Amino acid sequence: MNQRELKLTPDGHHVVIRGRKWRATDPAVPDDVATRLRAHLMAARRAAATALREGDATAERAARDRVHAAKVALGERGTPPWWEDDETGRRRRWERGLRHLDEG
């Protein structure tokens, strides 16, 4: 996706991709951590697609759970939204998510 397709809302809380609004990644997530979380996210998405093609519902559920865990850790899902959480809660969220995904 090129940068012209992705637009940040003025408050920085969401991105607009092809006219659809999505929660933005927490900008406080350190770059190295965000890179690792995105690697987990993409691997989980590939695993979900493979499981879906193979008709393996158990593997698909496990992969989708990993997708969700990565997106929560990045701040793109979950409550409270990253902009309403304090610094400690935000750090705890991505540390917990990365630990879970690394073990996984």
Q: What is the pLDDT at residue 63?
A: 98
Neighbour tally for 60: CB within 10 Å: 18
Hey, CA dihedral for 18, 19, 20, 25, is it positive or negative? positive
Q: What is the chain's pLDDT, residue by residue, as a tens digit (104 residues)?
A: 445 567 899 999 999 998 899 999 999 999 999 999 999 999 999 999 999 999 999 999 999 999 999 999 999 999 999 999 999 999 999 999 999 999 97
6: Cβ contacts below 8 Å, ≥ 6 apart: 15, 16, 17
